[in-house]
């Protein structure tokens, strides 16, 4: 049975790295994997999505509406933006973190205030994570993405795999320890 | 051993394993990472060329000299390179020659949605189309074999979802094929009319042989499943169709899509009950199948516009219903792409935004984003180089129509080398009083930071001669009184240059010089710099908000600067009339 995961967020949040670690891990654990990413126009600040599908044999790298087993929103308002991709009964992991887009910054559009409440009304498998707080506790705010990856791994029930080894194989040595801790922190939230 | 690779990494790996020795390209999404990955293989000479035409000609020269060569580009790049393509098609190759066109259905990062498969019949060259990363690697090897066997360049056609999707790829070893000997052969390599007239019938003959090959080659295959539904498909559309139908349909999977395998198509069509053609964008395969007199269904059901996905195919052919979907009652604000915090392009756009009667002809690059609110600088974006040349035409027409508009044209440093220079020469030659702004951020930024002739480094990491934009501009004939070089982080200096340019009566050039804020060394140098707001001095006039910096926000009745995003460019500090912004760090 193929599983589908959608990562959504804002350019610069480290979504591509998080999905890369997940993908490499899934390959090691024996799955066929397809991962797709879209490079938009902006280096920073634009919408970013990556899609990961894994199973015995995967053809399409793309996830359809109502098909994602898990949606991970790295930024709060990105959750409702992409929610139509979540499968009926699927899990939503939301980072309780706001990044204002330009229309909000210049006052043309309000940033909705009740996103989490509205999500709670509709989504039963909802996990709200304060990844910034967890990352700061670890001593590096930039590990928010890996904390969220940890939460995703838990939602996928893949926490028994050796993710520390995956991190060691992919990241440079000085980055390994903190990111292994970040995955663990994400799993424990 | 299998490794997870993007299509682009796999094409690079394929070039390496196939013994390719020369690679040239101009960056362009979604093709850029092919050359970036090839550069990791020291057995291959690789370069960033000044544009796609140059890159293709470099590859043509290398092929004639005897090397297996490759050039890669985004779909619109092939328009630039169309000139050499159509003639190398006549000359053929010595070492195998691959021209990768990376099309962008859905226009994730492009100005149009052209379907470059049509270049193959137009130029009369063979074309292959991989559908996943494994095929990306394998097809490079096949492509070199076909190229050398049939004496043809190969159009290697990919799309965004093939280039930027990752899948498992079996790794192989490099086969050293060396560089073949070169023998002078005027009739083959000098396309004068007399030689070309002799060549054209050879090209037509070659197509017949290629079609025979296409009917018998491993790139095209039939996968028999349920014969009630037959699907002819290629590229990523094959993967989507397999996802939907699995064994519930039969497939003619096209890997060599020009010339198309007529006999296989007839055999397949005769065996299945209903024949569908599933392809993204234009009806390339469908048109051909119909010319064979075969009844099939394609674009009546499958949309021409936008990229496909399994759901579109399933709904079109199987009439399936939508899956159950969540919707949440939240009004989601849009998130358009924006100039980064600390982007050096912001200063000049802000300075120009004070002039309401200016026309801005922009170009392809990060600075296209000057059009976004609140800066709103941009009237036209056409293609690489048109930032200057559309300005020339706009100015001439405005004058013919008795309108007084000052036209500012924008190109970046890489775009200037690509095709901005010729436009600037035209402006000087034809005395067009435009303002040509060269936004020199010392990198090819939007495609993810590639070196260019102005950066002093090559793709292979070697030190290179820096092409001096200022000297070049002077040599083209821009007079000293019509040339300003400014630091766009320095607002008064930038505003003064814009004012002079606005009043100029001759071609005027402004060069803004400040490296991209995301270059690693720049980030390191500015890591400890940031600006903050003295809340006691802030009058909440929001002047700083109007520079359109993503780091500055108005939240809970208070304006603040996000320290983690800010790099202390000081643009906001310079627009604050109340001295409320202070910069930390030097």
Q: Which two tokens stand for residue A2?
A: 């193929």
Q: What SS3 string covers B510-558? A: EEEECCCCCCHHHHHHCCCCEEEECCCCCCCCCCCHHHCCCCEEEECCE
For B400, counting Cβ atoms within 10 Å of its Cβ (0-12 exposed, 13-18 middle, 19+ buried), the class is exposed
Suggest the residue from A61, A118, A140 to mutate for an interface test with chain B (most B CBs closer than 10 A). Answer: A61
Per the confidence metrics, is the pTM higher than 0.95?
yes
pLDDT at position A39: 64
A55 interfaces chain B, CB cutoff of 8 Å: no
pLDDT at position B556: 85
* Assigned domain for B328 exists: no
Q: Give the one of A58, A65, A102 whose C-beta lies nearest to B338's C-beta.
A: A102
Q: Would you say residue A55 has pLDDT above 90?
A: yes
Q: What are phi and psi of A68, to 5 degrees?
A: -75, 130
Same domain membership, residue B388 and residue B508: yes
Interface of A with B in 162-181 (CB under 8 A): none
| pLDDT tens-digit profile, chain B (586 residues) | 899 999 999 999 999 999 999 999 999 999 999 999 999 999 999 999 999 999 999 999 999 999 999 999 999 999 999 999 999 999 999 999 999 999 999 999 999 999 999 999 999 999 999 999 999 999 999 999 999 999 999 999 999 999 999 999 999 999 999 999 999 999 999 999 999 999 999 999 999 999 999 999 999 999 999 999 999 999 999 999 999 999 999 999 999 999 999 999 999 999 999 999 999 999 999 999 999 999 999 999 999 999 999 999 999 999 999 999 999 999 999 999 899 999 999 999 999 999 999 999 999 999 999 999 999 999 999 999 999 999 999 999 999 999 989 999 999 999 999 999 999 999 999 999 999 999 999 999 999 999 999 999 999 999 999 999 999 999 999 999 999 999 999 999 999 999 999 999 999 999 999 999 999 999 999 999 999 999 999 999 999 999 999 999 998 889 999 998 999 999 999 999 999 999 999 8
Same domain membership, residue B89 and residue B234: no
Considering only CA atoms, give the Rg of chain B: 27
What is the arrangement of strands in the sheet containing B274-278, beginning at the earlier edge strand? B221-223, B250-254, B229-234, B274-278
Q: Would you say residue A109 has pLDDT above 70?
A: yes
Suggest the residue from A9, A27, A31, A42 to mutate for an interface test with chain B (most B CBs closer than 10 A). Answer: A42
Rounded to the nearest angstrom, the minimum Cα separation between A104 and chain B is: 7
Same domain membership, residue B147 and residue B129: yes
What 8-state DSSP symbol labels residue B97? E
pLDDT at position B564: 85
pLDDT at position A41: 67
* Assigned domain for B24 exists: yes
pLDDT at position B392: 98
In chain A, whose CA is at the least distance from the CA of B309?
A: A62
Contact A43 B327 (CB under 8 A): no
A10 closest CA partner among A104, A124, A125: A104
pLDDT at position A142: 87
Suggest the residue from A31, A47, A60, A103 to mutate for an interface test with chain B (most B CBs closer than 10 A). Answer: A60
Q: Which residues of B touch A121 (CB under 8 A)?
A: 328
Same domain membership, residue B364 and residue B477: yes
Same domain membership, residue B71 and residue B172: yes
Asked if residues B325 and A65 have their Cβ atoms less than 8 Å apart, the reply is yes
Same domain membership, residue B299 and residue B370: no
Same domain membership, residue B554 and residue B473: no
Which domain covers residue A42, as residue numbers? 3-188
How far is residue B145 from each of residues B19, B111, B515, measured CA to CA in Å? 11, 34, 44
Q: How many domains does chain A have?
A: 1
Same domain membership, residue B233 and residue B187: no
Domain endpoint, select from B197, B214, B231: B214
Q: What percentage of chain B's residues is helix, strand, coil (to nearest 5)? A: 40, 20, 40
Rounded to the nearest angstrom, the minimum Cα separation between B175 and chain A is: 27
Asked if residues A1 and A55 have their Cβ atoms less than 8 Å apart, the reply is yes
Same domain membership, residue B70 and residue B31: yes
Average pLDDT over residues A17-24: 95
Domain endpoint, select from B188, B214, B240: B214
pLDDT digits (tens, 9 = 90+) for A79-91: 999 999 999 999 9
pLDDT at position A107: 87
Q: Would you say residue A44 has pLDDT above 80?
A: no
The ipTM, to two decimals, is 0.94
CB atoms within 10 A of CB B479: 12
Domain endpoint, select from B517, B540, B574: B517
Interface of B with A in 485-504 (CB under 8 A): none
How far is residue B450 from each of residues A186, B27, B35, B47, B229, measured CA to CA in Å? 35, 7, 10, 11, 47
Q: How far apart are CA A186 and CA A175, in angstroms?
A: 17
- Pairing state of beta strands B97-103 and B154-159? parallel
Same domain membership, residue B180 and residue B159: yes
Same domain membership, residue B228 and residue B206: no
Which domain covers residue B561, as residue numbers? 526-584
* Assigned domain for B330 exists: no
Q: Would you say residue A186 has pLDDT above 90?
A: yes
Contact B554 A105 (CB under 8 A): yes
pLDDT at position A42: 65
pLDDT at position A141: 84
Asked if residues B125 and B85 have their Cβ atoms less than 8 Å apart, the reply is yes
Alpha helices of B353-438 — where are they, by DSSP H?
386-400, 413-415, 421-429
Contact A66 B325 (CB under 8 A): yes
Angle between the B82-91 and B52-65 helix axes, to the nearest 10 degrees?
A: 20
For residue A26, the domain's CATH number is: 3.40.920.10
Q: How many domains does chain B have?
A: 4
CB atoms within 10 A of CB B584: 12
Same domain membership, residue B433 and residue B568: no
Q: Would you say residue A78 has pLDDT above 90?
A: yes
pLDDT at position B31: 98
């Amino acid at each position: 049975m193929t599983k589908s995961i959608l990562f959504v967020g804002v350019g610069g949040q480290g979504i591509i790295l998080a999905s890369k670690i997940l993908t490499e891990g899934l390959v090691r654990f024996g799955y066929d994997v397809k991962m797709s990413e879209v490079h938009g126009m902006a280096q920073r600040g634009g919408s970013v999505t990556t899609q990961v599908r894994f199973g015995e044999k995967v053809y399409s790298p793309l996830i359809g509406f109502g098909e994602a087993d898990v949606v991970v929103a790295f930024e709060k308002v990105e959750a409702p933006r992409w929610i139509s991709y979540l499968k009926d009964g699927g899990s939503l992991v939301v980072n309780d973190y706001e990044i204002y887009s330009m229309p909000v910054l210049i006052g043309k559009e309000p940033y909705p205030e009740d996103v989490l409440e509205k999500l709670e009304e509709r989504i039963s498998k909802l996990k709200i994570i304060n990844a910034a707080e967890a990352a700061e506790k670890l001593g590096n705010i930039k590990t928010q993405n890996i904390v969220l990856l940890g939460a995703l791994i838990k939602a996928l029930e893949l926490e028994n795999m050796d993710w520390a080894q995956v991190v060691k194989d992919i990241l440079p040595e000085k980055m390994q320890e903190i990111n292994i801790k970040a995955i663990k922190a994400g799993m424990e939230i | 051993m299998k490794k997870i690779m993007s299509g682009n990494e796999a094409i690079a790996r394929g070039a390496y394993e196939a013994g390719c020795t020369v690679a040239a390209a101009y960056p362009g999404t979604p093709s850029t990472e092919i050359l970036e990955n090839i550069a990791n293989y020291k057995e291959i000479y690789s370069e960033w060329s000044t544009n796609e035409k140059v890159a293709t000609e470099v590859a043509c020269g290398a092929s004639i000299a005897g090397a297996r060569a490759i050039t890669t580009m985004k779909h619109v790049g092939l328009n630039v390179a169309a000139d050499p393509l159509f003639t190398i098609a006549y000359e053929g190759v010595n070492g195998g020659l691959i021209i990768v066109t990376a099309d962008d259905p859905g226009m994730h990062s492009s100005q149009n949605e052209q379907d470059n498969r049509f270049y193959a019949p137009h130029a009369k060259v063979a074309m292959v189309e991989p559908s996943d990363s494994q095929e990306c690697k394998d097809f490079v090897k096949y492509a070199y074999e076909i190229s050398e066997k049939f004496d043809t360049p190969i159009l290697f056609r990919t799309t965004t979802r093939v280039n930027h999707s990752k899948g498992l790829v079996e790794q192989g070893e490099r086969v050293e094929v060396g560089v073949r000997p070169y023998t002078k052969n005027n009739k083959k390599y000098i396309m004068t009319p007399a030689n070309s007239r002799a060549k054209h019938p050879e090209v037509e003959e070659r197509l017949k042989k290629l079609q025979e090959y296409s009917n018998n080659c491993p790139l095209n295959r039939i996968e028999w499943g349920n014969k009630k539904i037959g699907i002819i498909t290629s590229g990523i559309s094959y993967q989507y169709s397999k996802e939907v139908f699995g064994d519930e349909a039969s497939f003619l999977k096209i890997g060599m899509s020009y010339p198309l395998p007529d006999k296989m198509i007839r055999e397949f069509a005769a065996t299945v009950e209903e024949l569908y053609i599933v392809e993204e964008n234009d009806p390339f395969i469908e048109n051909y199948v119909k010319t064979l007199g075969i009844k099939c269904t394609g674009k009546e059901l499958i949309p021409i516009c936008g990229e496909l996905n399994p759901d579109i195919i399933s709904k079109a052919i199987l009439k399936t219903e939508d899956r159950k979907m969540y919707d949440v009652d939240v009004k989601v604000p849009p998130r358009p792409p924006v100039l980064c915090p600390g982007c050096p392009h912001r200063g000049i756009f802000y300075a120009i935004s004070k002039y309401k009667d200016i026309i801005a002809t922009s170009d392809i690059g990060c600075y296209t984003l000057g059009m976004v609110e609140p800066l709103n600088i941009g009237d036209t974006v056409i293609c690489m180089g048109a930032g200057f040349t559309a300005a020339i035409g706009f100015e001439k027409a405005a004058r013919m129509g008795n309108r007084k508009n000052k036209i500012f044209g924008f190109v970046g440093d890489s775009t200037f080398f690509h095709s901005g220079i010729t436009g600037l020469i035209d402006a000087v030659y034809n005395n067009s009083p435009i303002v040509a702004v060269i936004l020199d951020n010392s990198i090819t930024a939007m495609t993810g930071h590639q070196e260019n002739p102005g950066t002093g480094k090559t793709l292979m990491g070697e030190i290179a001669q820096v092409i001096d934009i200022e000297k070049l501009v002077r040599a083209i004939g821009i007079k000293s009184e019509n040339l300003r070089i400014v630091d766009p982080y320095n607002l008064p200096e930038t505003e003064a240059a814009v004012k002079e340019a606005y009043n100029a009566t001759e071609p005027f050039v402004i060069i803004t010089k400040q490296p991209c804020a995301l270059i690693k060394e720049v980030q390191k140098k500015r890591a400890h710099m940031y600006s903050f707001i003295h809340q006691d001095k802030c009058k909440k006039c929001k002047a700083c908000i109007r520079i359109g910096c993503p780091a500055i926000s108005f939240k809970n009745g208070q304006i603040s600067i996000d320290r983690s995003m800010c790099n202390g460019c000081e643009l906001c500090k310079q627009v604050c009339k109340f001295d409320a912004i202070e910069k930390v760090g030097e």
